[in-house]
Structure 1
């Protein structure tokens, strides 16, 4: 990969696309399915899509580890969605239901939810537990770059 292009995983078909860095803000579309590569909302991940997005994307990926029964998780969901609209295309935001994917939650030692983990190059680079508002999510993510 050259320094002026990035690999992005399509949120619709999971194809890996190579996009020139300078064109990220130009509403790029997937070369395979022709859908937008950015949707201004968090992706819902399962085990397979988690591995693909974390491992193959050159963008930092911010994952909200949550569960449907968790009131703070549900209350933070609109703030996380609003943060996605503000942080794209600098970041990819995604959600992982720890009830549906307990093996991934165990792998990353999720002890409390919601927990935000920022991944870069397939590795965890930062973690924040507890519900945050939109401005705090955006500020925290940008401070980790």
Structure 2
């Protein structure tokens, strides 16, 4: 594989695609399901999909750990959605419902929600508990990639 190619996991069918770096901004589609690889919306991930995105994506993955009963989580959801429009395709934004993925939340030691975690090359590089606005999410995520 050349350095001009990146592995990008599809947010729809979770197939790993090879995409040229230069074509990331040209809205590439998945080779299997033909859906856009980046659509400006966070991907909803279960435990299996989370593992695949973290292990195989060669773009950073910013994950919002949340639950439907959490008021601050629901308040932050539109801000996270807005951040996806600004940060993609430089990184994948994803949401993990900790009610449905309890083992994952326990394994990652998610103690409060919402919690943002940034993963690069398969490992967590930064974590931020608490609700944030869109501009703060974007600033925080970019600051940990500099």
TM-score range with shorter-chain normalisation?
A: over 0.9
Q: Which residue of 2 aligns with 1:93?
A: 93
2:2 is equivalent to residue 5 of structure 1? no
Q: Report the alpha carbon displacement of residue 2 of structure 1 after superposing the two structures with TM.
A: 2.1
Deviation at 1:71, TM superposition (A): 0.5
State the partner residue of 2:125.
125
Query: What is aligned with 2:71?
Result: 71
- SS of residue in 2 equivalent to 1:50: helix
State how far apart, in whole Å, the 1-side matches of 2:33 and 2:112 are.
37
Encode CA deviations 1:56-95: one digit per residue, 9 max, x unaligned: 1001000000111110000000000000011000010000
Give the corresponding residue for 1:83.
83
Q: Within 5 A, what are the aligned runs for 1:24-103? A: 24-103=24-103
Deviations 1:88-131 (A, max 9, x none): 00010000011111100011101111000000111101000100
**2:44 aligned counterpart, secondary structure:** strand
The ranges of structure 1 where at least 4 consecutive aligned residues each deviate by more than 4 angstroms after the TM superposition are none
Gaps of 5+ in 2: none
TM-score by length of 2: 0.97
Over aligned residues, Cα RMSD in angstroms? 0.7
In structure 1, stretches of 5+ residues that fail to align are none
TM-score, normalised via structure 1 length: 0.98
